[in-house]
Amino acid sequence: MTVGENPATSYGAYPARRLRRLRRTPALRRMTAETRLAPADLIAPLFVREGITEPEPVASMPGVVQHTIASLLVEAKRLVDLGVPALLLFGVPSRKDAVGSGASDPDGICQVALRALRGAVGDDLVLIPDLCLDEYTDHGHCGILDRYGAVDNDATLERYREVAIAQASAGADLVAPSGMMDGQVGAIRDALDTEGHVGTGILAYAAKYASSFYGPFREAVDVEIAGGGDRRSHQQDPANAREALVEVALDVAEGADIVMVKPALPYLDVLAAVRDAVSVPIAAYQVSGEYAMLAFAAERGVLDREQAAFETLTSIKRAGADLIVSYLAAEVAEILTSHPRR
């Protein structure tokens, strides 16, 4: 610098140069990162299917399987070793009926799996069964149908109460009502408290959108929805964001311990708004369609799978999620565990 030169206008003093200096090495980037992803941020969604002897791959979700009880326990122990704190469990029954009786049967696949998991991992893993009827009904809807073929909200709440009690009795730490019925959180909280399960929490699917990104999931749980699959009467319109805040506020007022935004990536604006609105923990679900797009693109060489996994999950956390439900959970946790500087 020559005598009389203004330091503020010199090459090295440009504000952009200050930013670039902090990006210069991996260590500098790690030190100044605003958002950090850890195994403890993740929840692994797992499927357990009744009546199979070997894990069965889900064709539309490369790397995802329907587990046997035995393989489910192996995966649960792996999650514990990787530092993943929780799993979200979906049961796939061998028989279905109009009222989804298997969902509340003490000997139903979800309850059997919960008891086995609790025996295998104790309290080292948070067990969260999905609480809905669509996996268990022969019509594939999330509730009881009235004589016109529409979902009967109040009749469905009675079934949800029964399912919640069965899941809590089998060892659930949290139950996760996903059907988007009006009043579901309050009804479930009352049922749990009445039956003495005051310590069982509720992770509520509070802002669940009527999304096109659920397709692969329906294969994973063998669900075919009667009447073309329209759930827009009770799931949220993708065009709306403000109503999500109303739904979330209602669930918190009814006793939800954690609220969820689903899907994640197409609704990061909603996730950020919910984070500003409530103080309870927030989960976001990186759903089957989000995962499938990434997985198939990586198979074709269009994306780097690891980089895309970390980028998407970090963006979800950056938007405000405390917890992320993702089919990438174990994979990412393994990378973080084996390469802690990642």
Catalytic residue list: 208, 262
Q: What token pair was written down for 301? A: 């060489």
Burial 69-104 (b: 16+ CB within 10 A, else e): bebbbebbeebbebebbbbbbbbbbeebeebbbbbb
Sort strands 86-92 and 42-49 into parallel, antiparallel or unpaired: parallel
Q: What token pair was written down for 41? A: 């941020």
Closest CA to 265 of 309, 297, 305, 312: 312
CA atoms 197, 41, 39, 262: torsion sign? positive
- Compute φ and ψ for 244, nearest 5 degrees: -60, -40
Name the DSSP letter for residue 237: P
- Count other C-beta atoms under 10 Å from residue 312's C-beta: 20
Q: Are 242 and 253 in contact (CB under 8 A)?
A: no
- Count other C-beta atoms under 10 Å from residue 321's C-beta: 26
**What kind and span of H or E run contains 171?**
none
- Give CA–CA dist 23/25, Å, rounded: 6
Q: Are 61 and 216 in contact (CB under 8 A)?
A: yes
Q: Are 30 and 341 in contact (CB under 8 A)?
A: yes
- Give CA–CA dist 300/246, Å, rounded: 41
Strand partners, 253: none
- Count other C-beta atoms under 10 Å from residue 272's C-beta: 17
Residues sharing a CB contact under 8 Å with residue 153, sequence separation 6 or more, in sequence order: 143, 181, 182, 183, 234
